[in-house]
Amino acid sequence: MRTTWRVSVFLTAVPIVTLGAWQHNPASHRRMAADVPGWAELTAPMHRMQAAMASVKPSGTSDVDFVRLMLPHHQGAIDMAKAELLNGHDPQMRRLAQEIITDQQSEIQLMQLWLQQRKER
100: helix, strand or coil:
helix
| Residue 75 pLDDT | 97
- How far from 104 is each of 31, 108, 121, CA to CA, in Å? 31, 6, 19
Domain assignment of residue 2, given as a range: 1-35
Question: Is 24 in the same domain as 45?
Answer: no
Please tell me which residue, 112 or 38, carries the higher pLDDT value. 112
Question: Is 2 in the same domain as 54?
Answer: no
Question: Is 44 in the same domain as 30?
Answer: no
What mean pLDDT is predicted for residues 88-108?
A: 97
Q: Lowest mean pLDDT: which of 3-7, 67-71, 99-103?
A: 3-7
Question: Is 69 in the same domain as 103?
Answer: yes
Question: Is 58 in the same domain as 100?
Answer: yes
What mean pLDDT is predicted for residues 30-49?
A: 81
Q: Based on the structure, what is the number of domains in the chain?
A: 2
| Residue 96 pLDDT | 98
Please tell me which residue, 114 or 10, carries the higher pLDDT value. 114
Question: Is 41 in the same domain as 31?
Answer: no
Please tell me which residue, 13 or 36, carries the higher pLDDT value. 36
Question: Is 88 in the same domain as 43?
Answer: yes
Question: Is 29 in the same domain as 45?
Answer: no
Question: Is 71 in the same domain as 28?
Answer: no
18: helix, strand or coil:
helix
| Residue 1 pLDDT | 58
- How far from 93 is each of 7, 12, 47, CA to CA, in Å? 42, 34, 22
